[in-house]
Amino acid sequence: MTETAGFWLPMVWALLAATAIFLYICLDGFDLGIGILFLKEKDADHRNLMVNTVAPVWDGNETWMIFGGAALYGVFPVAYGTILPALYLPVLFMLLALILRGVSFEFRFKAESPMSKFFWDTAFCGGSIVAAFMQGVILGTLVQGIKVENNVFVGSSFDWFSPFSLFCGLAVVIGYALLGATWLLWRCEGELHDTMRRISFALAGLMLVTIALVSVWTPMLHTTYMQHWLAMPQLALVAPVPVAVAVLAGVLFLGLRNPRSHLLPFVATLGLFFLCFSGLGINVWPYIVPPTITIWQASSPPESQTFLLVGTMFLLPLILSYTAYSYYVFRGKMSAGHHYH
């Protein structure tokens, strides 16, 4: 009995944790993307409008990240205790960037002098870029593998500083910017909408290039990853992913070219994120700290996982429904101009 619980519970939790991380990437992805797009959009009214599309919901979006940390701590404590020391500096930079960017939501509207307004706008933009980049680096480092002996991290403080993980950082910045641009294209009208549609074209092109590069690069990192592409049962699982990416890319470009299509580009981008995320997941499976610790080795005892699972089954649908309600309350296009300053 315990044997089977010990086998199935970590699988269920791995799936739940992956879902939570994916939700975080989708939700905070577009609001980090908005910060990144401050690089291109300098107009003060437009900037306010951009921030306002996410103002009522960003706290909730960021909560998924806190949930990720807490769930990892409770369900896979060995992963929590080895991944975080290994990624000490990237995690630190990400957290600091998220702090600066988070408070800028409030502070930039309340800043009185042009100096302080400029400062908090820069903090919002810079914080978003650094946070996105570091999330990519964290992902890249994890995929690349972490040196662990006896459940303790034994690598050096700069193992994360590798071409692969830095490139993943860049890829995530581009991806989030595209999510942000397609979100704004959906939620805004007029000039801002047109700008975002233009920017989305370029970003979509860049994103496809980075997806292709990461896809070729990843199997070359470890022989286990490569085996997924060479042996038959696994190949059947991974082979459809690149095909689906190509199809969705086509849909995305069609949506961007059709001026009447507003929501489709955002949905297609989310779809691309989903494919990339599951593609990486399939590569890494069943390791949670590649290349040594599996989800079973990282797990807390079944008593802990069960205790949390019982509540989660009930609470997660509840959370999703009131989050959806909040999005519903603040639905629709944001109109520019007259309400601002």
Partner 1 sequence: MFGLSALFLARFQFAFTVGFHIVFPAFSIGLAAYLAVLEGLWLKTGRSAYLDLFKYWLKVFSVVFGMGVVSGLVMSYEFGTNWSAFSQKAGPILGPMLAYEVMTAFFLEAGFLGVMMFGLNRVGKGLHFAATCMVSIGTLISMSWILSSNSWMQTPRGYRIDEATGRFLPVDWWQIVFNPSFPYRIVHMGLAAFLCVAFIVAGVAGWHLLKARREGRQASEQVRLMFSMAMWMAAIVSPIQVLAGDTQGLNTLEYQPAKIAALEGDWESESRAPELLFGIPDMKNETTHFKIAIPYLGSLILTHSLDGKVPGLKDYPKEDRPYSPLLFFSFRIMIALGMLMVLVGLWSLYLRWKGKLYDTPLLHRIALFMSPAGFLALLCGWITTEVGRQPFTVYGLLRTSDSVSPIALPNIATSMVAFVIVYFIVFTGGITILLRTFAEEPHPDQHGPAEDQPQRAAGTTQVSHQPQPDAGMAE
Return the residues of window 141-180 that contact partner 1 according to CB under 8 A.
Answer: 151-153, 157
Only one of the segments 176-184, 207-215, 254-262, 332-340 lies at the binding site for partner 1 (rule: CB under 8 A); that segment is 332-340
As measured in angstroms, the least distance from the Cβ of 44 to partner 1 is 11
Residues in contact with 75: Cβ distance below 8 Å, sequence separation at least 6, in sequence order = 10, 13, 17, 299, 300, 304, 305, 308
The residue within the footprint of partner 1, chosen from 43, 106, 191, 194 (CB under 8 A), is: 106
Other beta carbons less than 10 A from residue 220's beta carbon = 10
* Cβ nearer to partner 1, comparing 162 with 304: 304
Only one of the segments 212-220, 236-244, 282-290, 313-321 lies at the binding site for partner 1 (rule: CB under 8 A); that segment is 313-321
* Cβ nearer to partner 1, comparing 104 with 210: 104
How many residues form the binding site for partner 1 (CB under 8 A)?
A: 78
* Cβ nearer to partner 1, comparing 149 with 243: 149
Length, in residues, of the chain: 341
128, 127, 133, 129: which is closest to 171 by C-alpha? 133
| Interior angle at CA 331, CA 31 and CA 95, nearest 5 | 20
Other beta carbons less than 10 A from residue 173's beta carbon = 24
Return the residues of window 73-102 that contact partner 1 according to CB under 8 A.
Answer: 73-75, 77-78, 80-85, 88-89, 91-92, 95-96, 98-100, 102
The residue within the footprint of partner 1, chosen from 12, 18, 26, 105 (CB under 8 A), is: 105
The alpha helices in 38-156, defined as continuous H runs, are 44-52, 58-75, 77-86, 88-110, 114-144
As measured in angstroms, the least distance from the Cβ of 95 to partner 1 is 5
As measured in angstroms, the least distance from the Cβ of 236 to partner 1 is 35
Binding of partner 1 by 294 (CB under 8 A): no
Sign of CA dihedral 29, 96, 102, 111: negative
Confirm if 74 and 10 have CB atoms less than 8 A apart: no
> Which tokens belong to 75?
């369900």
Binding of partner 1 by 326 (CB under 8 A): yes
Binding of partner 1 by 115 (CB under 8 A): no
As measured in angstroms, the least distance from the Cβ of 85 to partner 1 is 5
* Cβ nearer to partner 1, comparing 257 with 333: 333
Binding of partner 1 by 55 (CB under 8 A): yes
* Cβ nearer to partner 1, comparing 52 with 210: 52
Confirm if 49 and 188 have CB atoms less than 8 A apart: yes
> Which tokens belong to 60?
């909730």
Binding of partner 1 by 134 (CB under 8 A): no
Binding of partner 1 by 103 (CB under 8 A): yes
Residue 236: Cβ-neighbour burial (10 angstroms; 0-12, 13-18, 19+): exposed
143, 184, 182: which is closest to 160 by C-alpha? 143
* Cβ nearer to partner 1, comparing 63 with 278: 63
The residue within the footprint of partner 1, chosen from 18, 40, 63, 122 (CB under 8 A), is: 63
Cα distances (Å, whole numbers) of residue 240 to 14, 214, 276, 281: 22, 17, 12, 14
As measured in angstroms, the least distance from the Cβ of 42 to partner 1 is 18
* Cβ nearer to partner 1, comparing 189 with 267: 189
